[in-house]
Chains A and B, each alone.
Chain A
Amino acid sequence: MVKAERVQPGDEIHMGPPITVDRYGPAARVNHWITALSLILLAISGLALFHPSLFFLTALFGGGQTTRWIHPWIGVVLFISFYIFFFQLWKANLFTRTDVKWLMSVKEVLTAQEDKLPEVGKYNAGQKMIFWGMALLIMALIITGVIIWDQYFLEATAIPTKRIAVLVHALAAVAIICIFIFHVYAAIWTRGTLRAMTRGTVTGGWAFRHHRKWFKELAQRRRVDPAE
């Protein structure tokens, strides 16, 4: 019995040569890059108001006043685009027993000894943690962000509530920037990953090395487009 979480609609092997595997369709990729761009702009504009030494970054947005009003709107864009993306991916990101084993082998993960790791499906435990971490933090950020969006919601909450919200917003932002750094770095360090989000495909070797269970199941289920 093949578990539904490991493969997703649209995932398909192309016999090649070389063998490639469809990992993300055009809609998912557009969604990803809107989310990514929003997160980068939010991080820059947010950091500018977070620490005085970074206030100069407001110049990128045309000054402090513009930074102040544009930041929450970019947040709305991020929230919507991320959660569209979220509902495409969440099933494949549910944790399984394999994830525990994978997480226990942190040394092998960091030293790229993947032959010593259990075979993983479409996402490994690290990717799943990034996914759920992002989902949780973006929810926290939008809720606290609306509470401190005084231009429109000044009257909605009392000042003590806003104080807590602004602190939680800052902490969540620090956390999400850390996750963002992990995410980007992992995608660069694991060579051959970026093309999944640009061209939408990965090589057969990449799928075999990093997500062998996913690859095997695609083959098993005959989700294969025979040689061109």
Chain B
Amino acid sequence: MTNSLQMDSPRTAVSNPPVQAMDSNLGERDLVRRSATSDLPPPERQLTAVAKLIDVSKCIGCKACQSACVEWNDTHPGVGENVGVYTNPHDLTEDMFTLMRFSEWINPETDNLEWLIRKDGCMHCADPGCLKACPAPGAIVQYSNGIVDFIHENCIGCGYCVKGCPFNIPRISKADHRAYKCTLCSDRVAVGQGPACAKACPTQAIVFGTKDDMKKHADERIADLKSRGYANAGLYDPQGVGGTHVMYVLHHNDKPHIYADLPDDPKISGVVQAWKGATKYVGLATMGFLAVGAALHGVFAKPNRVSHEDEEGAEEVLKDKLGGQSEERA
């Protein structure tokens, strides 16, 4: 790792951190997407795409990743309540960016109980629904290495990202009304270190590196699983969202939903696409057209004015209808 400082992104999470201080390697110039921003200049350079690979078949459910995540991100999840399952806390929260979800599944082919453990968290989609939905300029960004990050000072807490996300990941803090999720440890990756969860994982079920390396590693793992009888083992890198920068090796890749409702074919909802696509442009055009049309009509068309004849007409109606009134009143 002697040349780690020259590399644009760390190639592994297990190495020790660089000993010299270094500047952050991820900045504004590396953005490929910025929420609610149409005139983003192209990035000055293309960083190597990175990815986290989570091999569920190697996970022992120790939750070291959760602890490392909490520690690195300095969040303070409250003490939970045991309701008889290992999943703790019960859901992702603004203080818990990653969560081991435990599922008990009976394999219909073997009648064996399989204990499936999936580390849930942001998938860092190549086509992020959260970013598409976000109305606040710069609150959600995507770097050229694939990391999707929330920039909290720009967040307005509207929750549109929650609606845009195909994986139900972002959570809005009740304390500061801002959205939180896994950052893929962008602040570590920026200084040559892999994500805290991958660093802490004792079985290397979580590994980190370039997306190409992770796919190669996944291939080896899948071959191994297939040799052990998992015929449907495969890589979860869903193309419906353009691929993801957090990928899973699943021993039952033909049915991702058995892993605590991992979507089989995730994509940005058509409703969200319609809302953020046609509605936005056609809506604005319609309102603008009408306002301009009204203004033009106001300038060029003759106003609808009450005429002298109308005033006389009113007097006649009163004379006609009330002609006998004075006599009646008298």
Q: Which of A58, A150, A224 meets B172, CB within 8 Å?
A: A150
Interface pair A65/B298, CB less than 8 Å apart = no
List B residues 279-305 near A (Cβ within 8 Å). Answer: 279-280, 283-284, 286-287, 290-291, 294, 297-298, 301-305
Interface residues of chain A: helix, strand, loop or mixed (majority): helix
Bound CA span A69–B291, Å: 28
Interface pair B325/A150, CB less than 8 Å apart = no
Question: Known contacts A150-B172, A170-B283, A209-B310: does B137 contact A68 (CB below 8 Å)?
Answer: no
List A residues 1-22 near B (Cβ within 8 Å). Answer: 13, 15, 18-19
B36 at interface, CB cutoff 8 A: yes
Interface pair B306/A191, CB less than 8 Å apart = yes
Q: Which residues of A contact B283 (CB under 8 A)?
A: 50-51, 170-171, 173-174
Interface pair A65/B280, CB less than 8 Å apart = no
Interface pair A205/B311, CB less than 8 Å apart = yes
Bound CA span A28–B307, Å: 28
Q: Which residue of B lies closest to A170 (CB)?
A: B279
Q: Which residues of B contact A34 (CB under 8 A)?
A: none
Q: Mark A200-215, 1 if CB is under 8 A from B, else 0.
A: 0001111111001001
Bound CA span A19–B157, Å: 56
Stretch at the interface among A91-99, A132-140, A160-168: A160-168
A222 at interface, CB cutoff 8 A: yes
Q: Which of A50, A150, A173, A226 meets B135, CB within 8 Å?
A: A50
Interface pair A209/B158, CB less than 8 Å apart = no
Interface residues of chain B: helix, strand, loop or mixed (majority): helix
Question: Known contacts A52-B135, A174-B279: does B303 contact A191 (CB below 8 Å)?
Answer: yes
Bound CA span A177–B291, Å: 10
Bound CA span A220–B284, Å: 48
Bound CA span A15–B321, Å: 13
Bound CA span A47–B280, Å: 10
Q: Which residues of A contact B137 (CB under 8 A)?
A: 52, 55
Bound CA span A101–B229, Å: 77
Interface pair B280/A51, CB less than 8 Å apart = yes
List B residues 235-277 near A (Cβ within 8 Å). Answer: 269, 271-272, 274-275
Q: Which residues of A contact B70 (CB under 8 A)?
A: none
A35 at interface, CB cutoff 8 A: no
Q: Mark A176-204, 1 if CB is under 8 A from B, else 0.
A: 01100110110011111000000000011
Interface pair B318/A55, CB less than 8 Å apart = no
Q: Which residues of A contact B135 (CB under 8 A)?
A: 48-50, 52, 55
B315 at interface, CB cutoff 8 A: yes
Q: Which residues of B contact A69 (CB under 8 A)?
A: 157, 177
B37 at interface, CB cutoff 8 A: yes
Stretch at the interface among B24-32, B99-107, B160-168: B160-168
Q: Which of B156, B168, B320 meets A65, CB within 8 Å?
A: B156
B38 at interface, CB cutoff 8 A: yes
Bound CA span A147–B310, Å: 50
Q: Which residue of B lies closest to A158 (CB)?
A: B168
18 contacts between A and B (CB under 8 A): A19-B311, A49-B158, A50-B280, A50-B283, A50-B284, A51-B283, A52-B37, A65-B156, A65-B157, A68-B157, A112-B302, A162-B163, A167-B275, A189-B304, A192-B305, A203-B314, A206-B310, A209-B307
Q: Please provide the 7 A-B residue pairs with the shortest distance between their CB atoms, ordered closest to farther.
A: A204-B314, A64-B156, A52-B36, A205-B311, A219-B321, A205-B310, A208-B314
Given contacts A167-B272, A208-B314, could you give 6 more A-B pairs where the C-beta distance is less than 8 Å?
Answer: A51-B284, A112-B302, A170-B275, A171-B283, A181-B290, A209-B307
